[in-house]
Chains A and B, each alone.
Chain A
């Protein structure tokens, strides 16, 4: 006989983004609970709305399996007296196990015979165990926790009811002053409380009181209704998955409706309209078949069709008020010149401890100029870059960005074009914020990419110099994202930029323009280098590179991001070659010896000091090796060097007592090691 179990936690409205992860957490906890309680079950189904998190479990075992346990007692010689009767120890042992000496049998353990009994533990019934679900409910963890009433207990929102059933029976427990029962709540307005006769009535019974508890089903209903509207009007309704997920978790009974706004607002940039609709009102926006924005929106009511016109009119009014504001800003913003906005940036702080936005723009101006020198730009690109760097934050002080902060850069681009800036300058203003999220879009233009790198690099060094380093989950200025952004841009553009030289570029600019910079200490540079390399490691991890290979290739901050990424790729490719192990070991021996020796750079090798032919052979092989070409070529050269290296070590004692010989040999190895420094530190690779 198996059972159906239902556990529903009824809450005041949970934040939309918390609903799905929370019900998954609940499912996980219930599963772990059953596992710990040795209760088998078939299927576990999850249900969630803004007001409830629920799991239904099918085919739950009636009871735990019985256990037969062997319990060891005293040694036989202690348990049994000479006459064969049981000693006090034996009787005491069996009594302790709630048995009698009749149950005793003997078993040998490491050469000694011991007393044993077989103890039978009857499995507890599910009904007896399930009240402990209380601990499952109480253990839930949420991103924000709150107290309510007179309790110290913390939860995502106040718990208002708990429905807990095992088939027809209520699973009794009490949390705070809430006693479990068979009652659940219907829709806040359309429904009412109902009693469930059995766990299996869930979730169908809730549909009678206007609650679609199955989130997937609810989402499907929304999608269907949207598709219907789209078909009816020949609209392209843009359904972004994140917004759909959020909207789905704001309603228990969805009814999709469409509203409109006046044509005149279409003169406002699309991005502003979309932000108003999507981000502020959680509306889906509507386009025609050619992709042009239409003066309509689609939204979802938490309710039915009744008086839907009220709802539509209300939503239209709110949107219109927002668009009226936006139209006002759009007009007003065009009354000032870019120069006037830039002048205002003298009074806008980038950060209290760092300085103004105007100062930041100046730093980024110098830095982007220096970067352009490393990369090489045409005269036009140079000009566009200087202009962009001189104005690129101006939109921060426009009314529109004041109201719609998320449109920074986007409005900059629009306004720059309206004021006659070149498209390249305008694009760079927008692109310098990219990427705005992990894996997000990167700048497409060179000018935008350089400005993006300069802006991010400046922020990282600014905050490090001010001792505001990210730690743990605390990264308020998104410096990690910015470092990752620099790396991804360099990789995408295949630019030969490396951490150390980049930071040196900043340090040099700081020396030339001391008034613009805080003091950058060598420690800051080291911390920033480590911080950035750590992001490089994360980048390689996302490419599924093995940890030892990541350790190897990231050991050298002078290597460019592209070199590091390619080196990892090549080592991964050859990892399973038959001679990989020997190749890496040969290189490793060379590296370890030179590292210990710590010679000055570029010592000449004197062939007249060679004592055996392998030295000459190695010297010739090294001299013949080319450092140009691809990293794959380089790996092949390393592979070819393996035989001469092995022969060399067979015949040559590098650490000769004769200092002159020793120095010469180390100089030779150092030359050799220099050949494959593009691979970082090959000794980090695990070839055991």
Chain B
């Protein structure tokens, strides 16, 4: 039997594949976040008229999903392989299926389905239409045509392909627990992540300083607003991400009542919306430089907001 791909080989293959399709290989963004979508390489770049094709691995923190490293499939932090292509190519589904082939998954030997799943992230003002992709009954990818991001209509439409790397790798390596995955030759996923999983779970569920986190949320929010007002979108966005992660920590701790919850989410959404709007305005000021067709660019620059 041929040797199974390690997690890092899976990542490498995906990077190679998507780089060949014209995606820039970006690196994980260095602020905590719950999903690859929240990276500025997706959230900010999917709004506005400029094209954008990128792929990157995003470690995604979901404090409430932590299980002290004891559950075989649930993690405080998992890894997403994120592909964003705008405008969505006409053959995006075929490209995706080719990427599975590149990983040695021959569709003729499996059952691959596109099952309706419309995605929504209300706290970031995002909504899209698409599928979850099932591989022999297992959801391995979220596939979305963004319709709205940060409360703005996404035009042109961006297509997002998000592979759950742990799920996909568990399938490819045929292991029952993610901790048994081989990250690189001879090193298990568990060797790297068991301890942080335990510690982060313990922190998020038991020992975090709630008062401090509540204060931080307010501080981050204030700072984000201030920087938006100054037109400093990227620093402001970092603070929105921090707000979001701080909220997730509080939520995991059960420190946010259901009533307050909606209020916090609305605060994050309002920040996200004003940043999305400001980002497009700033790009316009710069003359939408990623649009290479001068005529198109001139036309867009003339248009009112």
A-side residues, CB < 8 A to B, are: 12-13, 15-17, 50, 144, 146-152, 157-158, 160, 188-190, 250-251, 281, 299, 301-303, 306-307, 310-311, 313-315, 317-319, 321, 324, 347-349, 352
Chain B: which residue is nearest A177 at the CB level? B90
Q: How far is the CB of B140 from chain A (nearest CB, A)?
A: 10
Q: Given A16-B116, A147-B147, A149-B88, A314 and B171 touching (CB < 8 A)?
A: yes
Q: CB of B56 within 8 A of chain A? A: no
CB<8 Å pairs between A and B, sample of 13 = A12-B114, A148-B88, A149-B156, A158-B90, A188-B97, A188-B112, A189-B108, A189-B112, A311-B136, A314-B135, A315-B111, A349-B257, A352-B259
Given A299-B137, A347-B254, 7 more A-B residue pairs with CB atoms under 8 Å apart are A147-B145, A147-B157, A160-B90, A303-B108, A303-B111, A321-B73, A347-B258
Distance between Cα atoms of A319 and B137 in the complex (Å): 8
Q: Say yes or no: is B87 at the interface (Cβ < 8 Å to chain A).
A: yes
**Which of B111, B129, B254, B257 is the most central at the interface, judged by chain A CB atoms within 10 Å of its CB?**
B111
Q: Which residues of A contact B72 (CB under 8 A)?
A: 321, 324
Contacts of A50 in B (CB 8 A): 114
Report whether B138 and A314 are in contact in the complex, using a CB–CB cutoff of 8 Å: yes
Give A315 to B108 CA distance when docked, in angstroms.
16
| A149 and B157 contact, CB distance less than 8 A | yes
Binding site for A on B (CB under 8 A): 72-73, 87-90, 93, 97, 107-116, 118, 129, 131, 135-138, 145, 147, 155-157, 159, 171, 176, 254, 257-259, 262
Q: Are A314 and B147 in contact (CB under 8 A)?
A: no
Chain A residue with Cβ nearest B171: A314
Residue of B88, B113, B257 near A250 (CB, 8 A) is B113
Residue of B nearest to A352 (CB): B259
Which one of B109, B113, B129 contacts A307 once the chains associate, using CB atoms below 8 Å? B109
Residues of A within 8 A of B116 (CB): 13, 15-17
Check if B145 sits within 8 Å of A349, measured CB to CB: no
Closest to B257 in A: A347
Contacting residues, chain B, for A324 (C-beta < 8 A):
72
Q: What separation, in Å, do the CA atoms of A407 and B110 have in the docked complex?
A: 32
Taking CB atoms, residues of chain B closer than 8 Å to A189 are 107-108, 112
- Min CB distance B199 to A, Å, is 22
Known: A148-B157, A149-B156, A321-B72. A352 touches B258 (CB 8 A): yes
Distance of A148 Cα from B136 Cα, bound (Å): 28
A349 to B257, CA, bound (A): 8
A543: shortest Cβ distance to chain B, in Å? 36
Residues of A within 8 A of B138 (CB): 314, 317-318
Closest 7 A/B residue pairs (Cβ): A314-B136, A15-B116, A349-B258, A13-B114, A307-B109, A315-B137, A146-B129
Docked-complex contact A302 and B137, CB < 8 angstroms: no
Alpha-carbon separation in the docked complex, A12 to B159 (Å): 13
Bound together, the chains give a CA A318 to CA B93 distance in angstroms of 24
**B73 close to A250 (CB less than 8 A):** no
Q: Is the CB of A310 within 8 A of B145?
A: no
State how many angstroms separate the Cβ of B178 from the closest Cβ of chain A: 11
Q: Please measure, in the bound complex, the distance between the C-alpha atom of A307 and the C-alpha atom of B156, giving whole angstroms.
A: 40
Question: Do the beta carbons of A302 and B118 come within 8 Å of each other?
Answer: no
Q: A314-B136, A314-B138, A352-B258 are in contact. Are A146 and B147 (CB under 8 A)?
A: yes
* A335-B81 Cα distance, complex, nearest whole Å: 39
**In the bound complex, do residue A310 and residue B109 qualify as a contact, i.e. CB atoms below 8 Å apart?**
yes
Q: Are B129 and A313 in contact (CB-based, < 8 A)?
A: no
Measured between beta carbons, the chain B residues less than 8 angstroms from A190 are 108
Shortest distance from the beta carbon of A10 to any chain B beta carbon, whole Å: 12
| Cα A160 to Cα B87 with chains together (Å) | 16
Instruction: Verify A306–B108 contact, CB threshold 8 A.
Output: yes
Q: In the complex, what residues of B have CB within 8 A of residue A188's CB?
A: 97, 107, 112
Q: Are B145 and A148 in contact (CB under 8 A)?
A: yes
How distant is B267 from chain A, measured CB to nearest CB, in Å? 15
B108 close to A12 (CB less than 8 A): no
Nearest-Cβ distance from residue A127 to partner chain B, whole angstroms:
29
Most chain A CB atoms below 10 A, which of B72, B93, B108, B114: B114
Residues of chain B contacted by A151 (CB below 8 angstroms): 157
- Chain A residue at minimum C-beta to C-beta distance from B154: A147
Contact residues in A for B115 (Cβ distance below 8 Å): 13, 16, 250
Residues on B with beta carbons closer than 8 Å to the beta carbon of A299: 137
- Specify which chain B residues have a CB less than 8 angstroms from the CB of A146 in the assembled complex: 129, 145, 147, 157
Cα distance, A62 to B159, chains bound together (Å): 44
Residues of A within 8 A of B114 (CB): 12-13, 50
Least distance between B211 CB and chain A CB atoms (Å): 19
Chain A's nearest CB lies how many Å from the CB of B205?
A: 15
Question: Are B109 and A302 touching (Cβ within 8 A)?
Answer: no
Alpha-carbon gap, A474 to B104, bound state (A): 47
Residues on B with C-beta less than 8 A from A313 are 136
A314 and B110 form a contact (CB under 8 A)? yes
Which residues of chain A are near B89, meaning CB under 8 Å? 149
Q: Which A residues touch B90, using CB under 8 A?
A: 149, 158, 160
Closest CB in chain B relative to A344 CB, distance in Å: 10
A600, B114: Cα distance in complex, Å: 70
Residue of A nearest to B135 (CB): A314
Q: Are the C-beta atoms of B93 and A349 separated by less than 8 Å?
A: no
Decide: B145 and A314 in contact? CB cutoff 8 A.
no
Q: Is the CB of A318 within 8 A of B129?
A: no
Q: How far is the CB of A652 from chain B (nearest CB, A)?
A: 66
Q: Which of B72, B73, B115 has the most CB of A within 10 A?
A: B115
- Residues of chain A within 8 A (CB-CB) of B176 are 317, 321
A352 and B264 alpha carbons, distance in the complex (Å) = 13
Q: How close is B34's CB to chain A, nearest CB, in angstroms?
A: 19
Q: Please indicate the chain B residues that have their CB under 8 angstroms from the CB of A352 in the complex.
A: 258-259, 262
- Expressed in whole angstroms, the minimum distance between the Cβ of A328 and any Cβ of chain B is 8
Q: How far is the CA of A311 from the CA of B124 in the complex (A)?
A: 37
In the bound assembly, the distance between CA atoms of A24 and B109 in angstroms comes to: 34
Interface centre among B90, B113, B254 (most CB of A within 10 A): B113
Residues of B within 8 A of A317 (CB): 136, 138, 176
Instruction: Pick the residue among B88, B145, B258 that contacts A348 (CB under 8 A).
Output: B258
Which residues of the partner chain A approach B137 to less than 8 Å between Cβ atoms? 281, 299, 314-315, 318-319
Q: Which residues of A contact B258 (CB under 8 A)?
A: 347-349, 352
How far is it, in angstroms, between the C-alpha of A36 and the C-alpha of B141 when the chains are bound?
Answer: 45
Given the contacts A146-B129, A150-B87, A307 and B157 also touching, CB distance less than 8 Å = no
Contacts of B112 in A (CB 8 A): 188-189, 302
